[in-house]
Structure 1
């Protein structure tokens, strides 16, 4: 019989620095080490070259992942190591430039999150970049708060992304802010395979 959490809480990883998704993935790795099951929903991410996608394939079915965002036109070349992510911006939403397709993807992600949490199959649910989906107005604050309120007692809910609204932070049991002090981008070091993606 699979173990269950004695109590599931809500955690938020936010801030302007690197490490929010990375922290949630570390928590996922810890959880499956104790026999728990993890489901990751990535808002606003659709690129197939992220390293965590390959890792999750090896750890399936203990960890499962679904992406609901724009694809990168250079996915296959980046995945094969023929080029690096240039941060060209084609696969990212900009403030005020969200499309109906972007909003529809976020709504599909919200529906999937509700289903996964209610299924009883997963102990840890990670909503990667949910805070950014709020910031870019792909979902409403009330939708996000309603999702948090519907969390079953024995499910741990992790929310990541910059710009977490105060109301989301208030609804959480743990809030961690990643604050940028120094970053290699500042000296011209581009995104690196296996480190930034």
Structure 2
């Protein structure tokens, strides 16, 4: 049986936890299959999540880079303009990665949040994804995926919040939540 090599556009969205985690699980699977994976984080940047350490163990097959500068709306430490510049720089890097041919899977973590916060143009990203190399898989994560991204995607999964430990006053757990 011959398998068609076609790059998929995958979206993990919704208000529930697990979007980045799902993308990281897919990255692990891809590395196991011999694929090269690159992850760019559009919002995260202040925290140093455990996956940054794990990525070093999977190098050079897997690499990730935090290009954001942290929370935009929840206790922001920098002005909106700084977040705008960081998101634009992250998108510039993403366009380089899309065109490079250096990876098989590109994860654009929290890019949907950047759309929601008016840090990026949905139209520009859709245009770039429509012109991506045919074999490149792209994952877009984050809350509130715009309709244009959902329409373009081959696979969309919505994470739905049902229960969260934060509701009981339990703080995020290192190694589990970040």
Q: TM-score range by the shorter chain?
A: over 0.9
Work out whether 1:45 is the aligned partner of 2:24. Answer: no
- Consecutive unaligned residues of structure 1, counting only runs of 5 or more, are 71-90
Q: Name the structure 1 match of 2:129.
A: 148
Q: Name the structure 2 match of 1:117.
A: 98
TM superposition outliers: structure 1 runs of 4+ over 3 Å? none
Residue deviations 1:142-192 (CA, integer Å, cap 9, x gap): 122122112210000000000101111001000000001111111111111
Alignment of 1:152-191 (within 5 A): 152-191=133-172
Q: Helix, strand or coil: the match of 2:173?
A: coil
Q: Helix, strand or coil: the match of 1:69?
A: coil
Q: C-alpha root-mean-square deviation of aligned residues, in Å?
A: 1.5
Distance 2:37 2:159 in 1: 23
Task: Report how many aligned residue pairs link the two structures.
Answer: 172
> What TM-score, normalized by structure 1, do the two folds share?
0.83
* Deviation larger for 44-53 or 21-30: 44-53
- Consecutive unaligned residues of structure 2, counting only runs of 5 or more, are none
Q: Is the 8 A contact 1:151 1:157 kept in 2?
A: no
> What TM-score, normalized by structure 2, do the two folds share?
0.92
- Partner of residue 102 from structure 1, selected from 60, 63, 83: 83
